[in-house]
Amino acid sequence: MPTSVKQMIEAANAEVPRVSPVEAQRMIAEGALVVDVRDAPELAQSGRIAGALHVSRGMLEFRADPDSPSPDLHFALDRPVIVYCASGGRSALAGRVLKELGYRKVYNLGAFKDWVAAGGAVDRPGS
């Protein structure tokens, strides 16, 4: 049965809870992994949440799966993971994929711009 991107994002949003920048800051202080799933040019232009791990949406499964040939050791199935992107769509889909891989504590921060507007710390390009 065909589906649309809009339907896929709606389904992902139903499975992956949203967190506010304030909630995310608390979770980060408690050890949550923050993952930026935007593409490299986006990071080069705007930076990323301070301390965030960059894994583009297209590589997420390969980095988050511990049995993958190229896992990223920052990921752990029992560690809370907060994902974000430019608007919240890719991060919703990324969160759903992480849940499918067995991650239980997955949260969608949504848009990077919301983090910035809330005064969240940012690692700027070239700094």
Per-residue pLDDT of the chain (127 residues; tens, 9 = 90+): 568 999 999 999 999 999 999 999 999 999 999 999 999 999 999 999 999 999 999 999 999 999 999 999 999 999 999 999 999 999 999 999 999 999 999 999 999 999 999 999 999 987 6
Strand partners, 110: 84
Q: For residue 126, what pLDDT is reported?
A: 72
Question: What's the structural domain count of the chain?
Answer: 1
> In the prediction, which pLDDT does 112 show?
97
Question: Does residue 121 fall inside a structural domain?
Answer: no
Q: What is the CATH number of the domain that holds 18?
A: 3.40.250.10
Domain that holds residue 43: 5-115
Q: How far is Cα 96 from Cα 73, in angstroms, rounded to an integer? A: 20
Give pLDDT, residue 125: 83
Locate the DSSP E strands across 30-124. Answer: 33-36, 48-49, 53-54, 81-85, 106-111, 122-123
Note the pLDDT of residue 127. Answer: 62
Residues with active-site annotation: 85
95 within some domain: yes
pLDDT at 49 (0 to 100): 97
pLDDT of residue 3: 85
Whether 71 maps to a domain, the answer reads: yes
